[in-house]
Amino acid sequence: MGTVTEWQRCNHDLTYTKDIPNNTNYHLSLTSKGYHALIYSGDHDLVVPFLGTQAWIRSLNFSVVDEWRSWHVGGQVAGYTTTYSNNLTFATVRGAGHTAPEYKPEECLAMLQRWISSRPL
């Protein structure tokens, strides 16, 4: 039938023969139309390091609205965030890997709830 017979959480046998093309134009198109965007990364993500994500966000050349600062949950630093023009928010989740909500569910839920309700992280 073409289905995988045994489920595995991650397949580390991928051949990685394709690159993802640059998607900057998609982000520029959507954010310039007023859509709000939250982009987040675990700061322990070894698959897509947050510095790479931060670099392509900076390549959009949006102005900074809210400088890089810590955000908190339960009085503890949960990560760092900055807000850009065009309603773009970037955040890191402290101590989280590639699947941030799996590593830090409480922090990710707080981040999402605050962002959805237009409150600062």
Q: Is pLDDT above 70 for 4?
A: no
- Model confidence over 9-24: pLDDT tens digits? 666 665 666 666 778 8
pLDDT at 42: 97
| Residue 92 belongs to a domain | yes
| Residue 12 belongs to a domain | no
Q: Assign residue 77 the CATH number of its domain.
A: 3.40.50.11320
- Model confidence over 72-110: pLDDT tens digits? 999 999 999 999 999 999 999 999 999 999 999 999 999
What residue numbers bound the domain in which 98 lies?
Answer: 35-116
Q: Provide the strand spans (E) within the chain.
A: 37-42, 64-73, 76-84, 88-93
Handedness of CA 12, 18, 21, 27 (dihedral sign): negative
Exposed / middle / buried, residue 6 (Cβ in 10 Å: 0-12, 13-18, 19+): exposed
Q: Is pLDDT above 90 for 119?
A: yes
Number of domains in the chain: 1
- Model confidence over 16-71: pLDDT tens digits? 666 667 788 888 888 889 899 999 999 999 888 999 999 999 999 999 999 999 99
